[in-house]
Amino acid sequence: MRPEPYGNPDEAPPPQPLRVAVVSMHTSPADRPGKGDAGGLNVLVLESAMALAARGNRVDIFTRSTGAAHVEPLAPGVTLHALETGGGIVRKHELPNLADAFGEQLERAALAAEQPYDVIHAHYWLSGLAALPVSLSLGMPIVQSFHTLAEEKNRRLGDDDRPEPERRLRTERYLASEVDAIAAVSRAEVDVLCDGVGAPAERVWLVPPAVDTLLFQPAPLASRMEVRARLGVRPEDGLVVCVGRVQPLKGQDLAVRMLQHLPGAVLVLAGDATPGAERYLESLHDLARDLGVEGRVRHIGSVDREALAQLLDAADVVVVPSRTESFGLVPLEAAASGTPVVASRVGGLLESVVDGQTGILIDSRDPMEWADAVGSILEDDDLQVEFGLAGRRAASRRDWQDVAHELETVYRSTVLARS
């Protein structure tokens, strides 16, 4: 257990607020999760930034603009700086070629800031690729969060997935050895970082995300029924929800195959196709038609956070058939909503779902096994309530202020080590 870097608060004055430069090059935290390349990373970046600011710190978030450069306040103490690099929409696999240009603009912005930043926090490998040279040039500590790792993704590819390029694998290994600290989101990610990527264990900190339990919470029955009616779900139907960007790694095809063995259920898929995975989305519709379940599958695209909270609350079961997840915010948000989860027994899902208490974890990708697990919950009202109550209790044990406090500790440790 690392000691606090700033002593006993009863004996020393409170530490000075930090100025933090958060880098999210490939996707803006202001983008809607489930759309384009936006997902759980966007939620984590924005929520933790707002929580850090609520503790008196100043957070500037830097991202690549798909239009003109602009500055936008996101919350008190949190400002978004969209830097114009490359012009327009650029496919994710081409973004590494823009990292140097983005880093140059990031350095200019840091030098022009009213006060120097204390630390850079880079999210995802592309941000680290751009921000590490800035850290070295300005003598500023850098913290890296990977969120997903090529090492793990390539081990669990779907049939239609392309492996992550060698450049990403090499870059992640290099970043892991060069940054001042790594903030990992789960114990599973810590294991991959240390055993697969070669990160020094003493630089890896565990900082799991939290959930907004005021937004995600059980609603009155009338509200749930209204949401279900809008989706065309009859009162006697079971509502199964799968949330996430539509791509082979998320495994939505397994959820569709499962539906064949759940005659009384409707499946709602929330999320847009990741750029480049449009054919996979089309294949889901083809699969549903071939299996004769097309009338019981609803693809509603990405939804805003309030609509997502309503959807998760209205669901009877949330399924997470991902092939890999560093953590998985959706299961935590479902738990906070009082909704049971059935998920793959992989990665961070082992930490966001308590098997047998808040939901069920499954080792296989057999649609029948998934249908049996989901059906066991749909058919047992008492089990739904039991899982729902346990999920709500588990989600309520941690909030974003806890995350902010832990990030401060990581940041201050890097500043202290550099002094």
Q: ∠143-39-196 over CA atoms, to 5°? A: 50
Q: Identify whether the C-beta of residue 37 lies closer than 8 Å to the C-beta of residue 26.
A: yes
Sign of CA dihedral 80, 81, 85, 88: positive
Angle, vertex CA 367, rays to CA 361 and CA 372, nearest 5: 60
Separation CA 72–CA 244 (nearest Å) = 27
- Grouping H, G, I as helix, E, B as strand and the rest as coil, residue 103 is helix
**b (16+ CB within 10 A) / e for 275-290:** eebeebbebbeebbee
Distance CA 345, CA 360 (A): 9
Which residue type occupies 138?
Answer: L
CA–CA separation, 102 and 84 (whole Å): 8
Q: What is the mean pLDDT of each run of 10 residues along the chain (419 residues)?
A: 44 81 93 75 96 98 92 97 83 88 96 95 97 97 96 81 90 98 96 96 97 96 96 95 94 97 96 89 96 96 95 98 92 98 96 97 97 98 97 96 98 94
**pTM recorded for the entire structure:** 0.92
- The domains found in the chain, sorted by start residue, are 19-209+399-418 (3.40.50.2000), 221-395 (3.40.50.2000)
Output the pLDDT for position 11.
56
Tokens of 30: 């202001």
**pLDDT of the residue at 94:** 86
User: What Cα–Cα distance (Å) separates residue 300 from each residue in 63, 228, 270, 303, 311?
Assistant: 28, 13, 5, 8, 11
pLDDT recorded at residue 92 = 76
Q: Between vectors from CA 50 to CA 45 and to CA 53, what angle results, nearest 5°?
A: 125
pLDDT at 374: 98
Q: Please name every residue paired with 64 in a beta bridge, in sequence order, or none if there are none.
A: 83
What confidence score (pLDDT) does residue 12 get? 57
Report pLDDT for 275: 84
pLDDT of residue 34: 67
Tokens 């209204």, residue? 226
pLDDT at site 8: 47
